[in-house]
Amino acid sequence: MMTYDGNKIKIAINGGIGFGAKLNAKQLVTISKYMKEDEELELTTFQQLYIEVPEDKKNEIIEEFERVGLSCYPVGNFVKSLRTCNFCKGEEEEGMPVAKEVNHRIAGKPVPFTLKVAYTGCPVGCGEPLLNDIGIMKMRDRYNLYIGGKAKGKDAKVGTLLLENLTPDELYASLEKIIATYAEQGKKREQFHKFVKRVGVDQLIS
C-alpha cells in the first residue's frame, strides 16, 4: 500500500486486447500497491479501470504496470483503447492481431472529445460496434467500418456503414485518416457524431 499526499493524476488501465477483458492476480496485486485501503478503482463501460497515481511518479508506475502486462492510457479527450468482443471463435478467425494493431495505432491520440472505437470479430457484434463513434466489424476476411453511433441520450442511434470489404491495411489507413481529420477540423469538445453531421461523410473518405 502506498501513502502519498502530492498531486495525483488519473490514468486508465486494462489487461490489453485478448480473450475477454481479464486481469490476472499479479496485475491486481501490482495495481493495489498504488492504492490506499479506502481508495477505489472506477470500472468504466469501456473495458478500462481508472486509477489515480502520484503525478511525479506516473512514468515509472506505468512502466511497472506494463511489465506485468497491463496497458495504460490517458484519460480525457483522447481516443480510448479499443473495445472488443471476446474473440470466442479463435484469435486468427476473429482478427485479434488486426484489433491489436488498430489499438496500437489509434489509442491515446488527442481528439476534440473522447472518441470510442469498438471492434467485433464477426457479425454477431458482441463488441457493439454500431453503438460507438466508430465501429469495426470483421466479415469473413474483410472489415466493415461504421461511424456515428451514439449509445447515450434520448437521441441514441446506431452508426451507419461508411466503408466495407476493407483489407487490414485499408482499415488502418481509413481509421487514421478519419481520426486525423477529426483531430484537425473538429471544434473544441465537439462530439464525433456532431462533427460527422457538420462536415459530411464525404470529407472523411475523400
126 lines the binding site for ligand SF4 (CB under 6 A): yes
Give 74's contacts (C-beta < 8 A, 6+ positions apart).
11, 12, 108
Q: Pull the grid cell for residue 59.
A: 512514468
In terms of Cβ atoms closer than 10 Å to its own Cβ (0-12, 13-18, 19+), residue 171 is buried
User: Dihedrals φ, ψ of 106, to 5°?
Assistant: -115, -25
Site string for ligand SF4, 37-76 (x = CB under 6 A): ----------------------------------------
Distance between CA atoms of residues 127 and 14, nearest Å: 16
Between 21 and 199, CB nearer to ligand SF4: 21
User: Dihedrals φ, ψ of 32, to 5°?
Assistant: -70, -20
Name which of residues 171 to 190 contact ligand SF4 (CB under 6 A).
Answer: none
Q: Residue 18 has what DSSP assignment?
A: S
Report which residue type is found at 7: N
Distance between CA atoms of residues 3 and 1, nearest Å: 7
- Packing angle of the helix pair 192-199, 168-185 (nearest 10 deg): 90
89 lines the binding site for ligand SF4 (CB under 6 A): yes
Nearest approach in angstroms of CB 69 to ligand SF4 is 21
Q: Which stretch binds ligand SF4 (CB under 6 A): 37-45, 88-96, 98-106, 164-172?
A: 88-96
Please identify which residue in 41, 88, 139, 156 interacts with ligand SF4, judged by CB under 6 A: 88
Q: Which stretch binds ligand SF4 (CB under 6 A): 82-90, 154-162, 164-172, 187-195?
A: 82-90
22 lines the binding site for ligand SF4 (CB under 6 A): no
130 lines the binding site for ligand SF4 (CB under 6 A): no
Q: Which stretch binds ligand SF4 (CB under 6 A): 60-68, 71-79, 119-127, 149-157?
A: 119-127
User: Dihedrals φ, ψ of 44, to 5°?
Assistant: -90, 170
Give 177's contacts (C-beta < 8 A, 6+ positions apart).
204, 205
Between 112 and 129, CB nearer to ligand SF4: 129
95 lines the binding site for ligand SF4 (CB under 6 A): no
122 lines the binding site for ligand SF4 (CB under 6 A): yes
Can you give the binding site for ligand SF4, defined by CB under 6 A?
85-89, 94, 120-122, 124-126
